[in-house]
Amino acid sequence: MENPIEFSKRNRRAIMLFVVLIFILVFIPRIYSFFIVNEPLTLEQEEFQTKEFYKNKKVTTKKTYFKKFKKRQKFKTPVKAFNPNTYSQKEWMKIGLTEKQAFWVLKYAEKGFYSHEDLKKCFVISEELFSIIKDSLLYPIKPQKSYAIDINLNKKENIKKSKIEINSALEEDLLKIKGIGSFFAKNIIKRREALGGFVHKSQLLEVWKMDEQKLKDIEEFIQIDVQNVKKIPINSITVEELKKHPYFSWNIANSIVKLRQQIGGYQNVEDLKRSILVDDILFEKIKPYIEIK
């Protein structure tokens, strides 16, 4: 029987060296990575990676938002030609704008729309909406520059001459007041009609979106004639009629009419205080509107 294969001493040494090299190449990197901790990112590297993350997230979110928004917003063609300076908030909403978008169009309208370029400056008027309404737009003639300069040169004199009596003013009269655009002009008239007229300037704060700063800006241009205030015939008015006035709820109107029936009619305005629902604050508000016959 032959002897098994035998390696010389030199061959055995070579094989052993080969095995050791294989072990080093395969296992040493793994052992090294296990014990060696990666160096932390520098502040600049961390900040850069954070910015990149949020930048990509923001772009994705923005694209998703506009994609959804575009799907749900549908615009309609106006039923007839219109002046964008006098279009109401409800009318803008009818052709597809949201309430907030329509509000911003009215804010821009205070400066005046005299051309397509002016309207395009309003950021809520998208290209899609503009393409739908452009053939229906009617613009007024822009006031001459020389006229505006003349107004500025004679400002003090014009303030005295151009005071607007607010209880008889038309919308075009109110538009002459500095700081009053179509939006506020319409809402001032709406509140005036509901009240029957204004008895003092502070009541303008009851106009929607009117604030103290706006009132301060316009009060030098307005005046009030209480003779133009519509009175309430308190001895003949019904509950349904009285509750239409902003200062009278149904409960207050009902209380006043029932008290009138009980006492046989009001002899003077002070009699209204006999209603438990008419306190001193309310009485002072309604007193100028009451007519005793």
In the chain, what is the straight-line distance between the N-terminal and C-terminal CA atoms, in Å? 147
Alpha-carbon span 80 to 34, nearest angstrom: 77
Residue 36 belongs to a domain = no
Residues 201 and 253 in one domain: no
The count of domains in the chain is 3
Q: Which of 14-23, 32-41, 114-123, 181-190 has the lowest mean pLDDT?
A: 32-41
Q: Sign of torsion, CA 71 77 78 79? A: negative
Is 254 within a domain?
yes
More confident residue, 185 or 124: 185
CATH number, position 194: 1.10.150.310
Mean pLDDT for 206-223 is 92
> Considering the domain boundaries, does residue 13 fall inside one?
no
Task: With respect to residue 173, please indicate whether it lies within any of the assigned structural domains.
Answer: yes
In this structure, the chain runs to a length of 293
- Is there a single domain that holds both residue 182 and residue 135? no
Per-chain mean pLDDT for the chain: 81
Is 108 inside any structural domain? yes
Residues 223 and 236 in one domain: no
- The residue out of 228, 243, 271 marking a domain boundary is 228
* pLDDT classification of 189: cutoffs 50, 70, 90: very high
The DSSP call for residue 227 is G
Work out the number of other CB atoms within 10 angstroms of the CB of residue 223: 12
- Please state which of the ranges 60-74, 146-160, 162-176, 260-274 shows the lowest mean pLDDT: 146-160
Final residue of a structural domain among 196, 228, 260: 228
pLDDT confidence tier of residue 204, bands split at 50, 70 and 90 = very high
pLDDT for residue 66 is more than 50: no
266 lies in the same domain as 212 = no
Question: What is the share, in percent, of the chain residues with pLDDT greater than 70?
Answer: 75
Return the CATH number at 248. 1.10.150
Residue 113 within any structural domain of the chain: yes
184 or 159: which leads in pLDDT: 184
Q: Domain limits at 135?
A: 61-142
**Does 237 lie in the same domain as 201?**
no
- Residue 162 in any domain: the answer is yes
Q: Dump pLDDT digits (tens) for 262-277.
A: 999 999 999 999 999 9
Q: Domain boundary at 142, 167, 189, which?
A: 142
Distance CA 198, CA 205 (A): 11
Q: Is the pLDDT of residue 71 over 60?
A: no
Of 44-48, 120-124, 186-190, minimum mean pLDDT range: 44-48
Scan for tokens 């002897």, then name that residue.
3
In a domain, 207, yes or no: yes
Radius of gyration of the chain (CA): 39
